[in-house]
A and B are shown apart, each in its own frame.
Chain A
């Protein structure tokens, strides 16, 4: 009796170990697949043009051509691009936070007529892509003499419907009794927002703020339209410009394009690695509503 139990137990242990091993294998495989494009970008960026086009690709560069980076940096003022990107992204973050937190509060905890209808206005804005509406916006910015200034990069992005939506979902999860208690203590609206709601929803707040930062950093279409000279071009445009066609001909400088891509992506990867734990917590809150 006890023997067979032992065998059963051993079998179970073995099976569990096998499953764990299987889980590890598949997970590692998936991770490698996801990692590959980033690896390939890095590797391609230090190869020579000839090695890149060789019929048999090499998984490790034969020679390291770090001068690809120098060539790219010589082609365009990437330092200026970084500066423009940082300033405009910071501006967008500040405004989205400032305006978005109040709006999220109003929609989550406020009490006024037409709240739901007005919230639909916010939701509706999620559905309009900039590629469709940018001409009227461009004309507005041009009228305000904003082209090639930070204003044009920042102001049209000052409010994000997504930001408000996410934050509202989280604010709603805070129980009203906290707010009532604060009111009884004589706390005003601003106090409630910044001393109760925001601290309680810090994870989501951090998440959406980081996402705003990353989106601002990565945005391409609108900055491309409103910058007609180098002075305010951002990093994403700089990278894309490396890859332009001329007279219907693709340029064959993939090594430099990849080097440019690395230059553009690196700060995001750093931000991600440092802040990734905050990137997650906030999402889960909003998603479970």
Chain B
């Protein structure tokens, strides 16, 4: 992730240092300008369609707008006080807790489940390659659609899962409608969607590890488990970091599956942050408060991600 991370894939050669020019000639400045021009269009779009809205939300957070009125007044920090010192705080904490739990769940599924499946499916044969494709596929099926299918499978009365549980001698579970299992239900959909993707990424990284390491280790008498723990896991750390960061960001933003499966309920047990923001704006007609929460949430996301990247620069092993 750091701009100067050493190259390590097959297309690269292990010498990358740029030759520093001493005098910044006019030519060089022109070149720099052209490089800058390459990124400008993308930045313009991001500024218009991503950053301007956030700035606008920041402004709205100081008003009493409800999205419908034509006029509004600036009310100072009233909405910020509502969040940090008023009735918003408890809900915020609850929502943050739910979001963190969900994120933890998705991270575990991705990192642990992904590695385990990668080891399981690491076999070169036709049937295995077909099975890998099947496990990988759900990632690309629309969440809005797969959530509907899962609702149907998890249906408390006529769902197939409860039927199977009953046959096996277990009680029916009110999957999406009980406080205890609602988040788990959403995570089941998540697991189904992401585990194959994580597996594929880990698998290609595992295959990139040189066999020499393992041969040396077995000469030293290390067993399979030790080899996995001392060689595979450390050498996979760049992949793990990649998955960690991208999964972290994606799971903190989860919305669609929750919206379809539980609408944040029951009793707020799946009220993840983005869904709460959405309900504040549209159910409670409090876009001013939604704006405050959005700003705070954005800051939390940026801080966490930056901290992860900073920490990872020190501890991730790039020398495979």
Do A and B touch each other in the complex, judged by CB within 8 A?
A: yes
Which chain A residues have a beta carbon within 8 Å of chain B's beta carbons? 23-24, 26-28, 30-31, 34-38, 40-41, 44, 52-57, 99-100, 102-103, 105-107, 109-113, 115-116, 118-119, 121-129, 131-137, 140, 156, 158-159, 161, 164, 172-177, 189, 200-201, 214, 217-218, 220-221, 236, 239-240, 243, 254, 257-258, 261, 264-265, 268-269, 271-273, 276, 279-281, 283-289
- Contact partner of B3 among A115, A122, A239, A276, CB < 8 A? A115
Contact call B42/A159, Cβ cutoff below 8 A: yes
Contact call A258/B152, Cβ cutoff below 8 A: yes
Contact call B160/A57, Cβ cutoff below 8 A: yes
Contact call B153/A102, Cβ cutoff below 8 A: no
Q: Can you list 20 A-B pairs with a CB-CB distance of less than 8 A?
A: A27-B131, A34-B192, A37-B192, A44-B152, A102-B42, A110-B36, A125-B46, A128-B50, A132-B294, A135-B67, A136-B56, A158-B45, A159-B41, A177-B13, A220-B144, A239-B142, A258-B148, A268-B141, A284-B200, A288-B208
A73 to B291, CA, bound (A): 40
The reply on B102 being an interface residue by CB < 8 A is no
Contact call A189/B38, Cβ cutoff below 8 A: yes
The reply on B84 being an interface residue by CB < 8 A is no
A-B contact count (CB 8 A): 276
B12's nearest neighbour on chain A, judged by CB, is A175
A28's nearest neighbour on chain B, judged by CB, is B131
Contact call A239/B144, Cβ cutoff below 8 A: yes
Q: What's the minimum C-beta distance from A118 to chain B, rounded to whole angstroms?
A: 6
- Contact partner of A284 among B142, B201, B253, CB < 8 A? B201
The reply on B264 being an interface residue by CB < 8 A is no
Chain B interface residue count, CB cutoff 8 Å, equals: 97
Contact call B137/A269, Cβ cutoff below 8 A: yes
The reply on B104 being an interface residue by CB < 8 A is no
| A102-B13 in contact given A132-B277, A172-B7, A220-B142 (Cβ < 8 Å) | no
The reply on B92 being an interface residue by CB < 8 A is no
Which residues on the B side are within 8 Å of A107 (C-beta)?
39
| A133-B135 in contact given A257-B148, A280-B200 (Cβ < 8 Å) | no
Which residues on the B side are within 8 Å of A56 (C-beta)?
163
| A220-B256 in contact given A173-B11, A175-B7 (Cβ < 8 Å) | yes
Contact call A37/B294, Cβ cutoff below 8 A: no
Contact pattern, B 172-211, Cβ under 8 Å of A = 1, otherwise 0: 0000000000000000000010011000110011001000
Q: What's the minimum C-beta distance from A134 to chain B, rounded to whole angstroms?
A: 8
A254 to B159, CA, bound (A): 11
Q: What's the minimum C-beta distance from A128 to chain B, rounded to whole angstroms?
A: 5
The reply on B9 being an interface residue by CB < 8 A is yes
Contact call B134/A31, Cβ cutoff below 8 A: yes
- Contact partner of A133 among B57, B158, B302, CB < 8 A? B57
Which residues on the B side are within 8 Å of A201 (C-beta)?
11
Which chain B residues have a beta carbon within 8 Å of chain A's beta carbons? 1, 3, 5, 7-9, 11-13, 15-16, 18, 31-39, 41-43, 45-54, 56-57, 67, 117, 120-121, 123, 127-128, 131, 133-138, 140-146, 148-150, 152-153, 158, 160, 163, 192, 195-196, 200-201, 204-205, 208, 238-239, 242-243, 249, 252-253, 255-256, 260, 274-275, 277-278, 281, 287, 290, 294, 297-298, 301-302, 305, 320
A125 to B140, CA, bound (A): 22
- Contact partner of B48 among A129, A140, A240, CB < 8 A? A140
A267 to B256, CA, bound (A): 21
| Beyond A102-B39, A175-B12, A218-B142, 4 extra complex contacts between A and B, CB < 8 Å | A23-B120, A110-B35, A132-B297, A158-B45
Contact call B204/A283, Cβ cutoff below 8 A: yes
Most chain A CB within 10 A, of B56, B141, B287, is at B141
Q: What's the minimum C-beta distance from B10 to chain A, rounded to whole angstroms?
A: 9
A26 to B148, CA, bound (A): 28
- Contact partner of B152 among A40, A272, A280, CB < 8 A? A40
- Contact partner of A280 among B36, B121, B141, B204, CB < 8 A? B204
- Contact partner of A131 among B1, B57, B204, B278, CB < 8 A? B278
Contact call B146/A37, Cβ cutoff below 8 A: yes
| A273-B39 in contact given A136-B57, A284-B201 (Cβ < 8 Å) | no
Which residues on the A side are within 8 Å of B39 (C-beta)?
102-103, 106-107, 110, 118
Contact call B136/A276, Cβ cutoff below 8 A: yes
A215 to B168, CA, bound (A): 39
Contact call B145/A264, Cβ cutoff below 8 A: yes
Q: What's the minimum C-beta distance from A250 to chain B, rounded to whole angstroms?
A: 10
Which residues on the A side are within 8 Å of B239 (C-beta)?
287-288
Contact call B11/A174, Cβ cutoff below 8 A: yes
Most chain B CB within 10 A, of A99, A102, A128, A240, is at A128
A55 to B5, CA, bound (A): 59
Contact call A287/B238, Cβ cutoff below 8 A: yes
A56's nearest neighbour on chain B, judged by CB, is B163
Q: Nearest 8 CB-CB pairs, A to B?
A: A110-B35, A284-B204, A106-B38, A133-B53, A218-B142, A103-B42, A106-B39, A159-B45
B294's nearest neighbour on chain A, judged by CB, is A132
Which residues on the B side are within 8 Å of A134 (C-beta)?
53
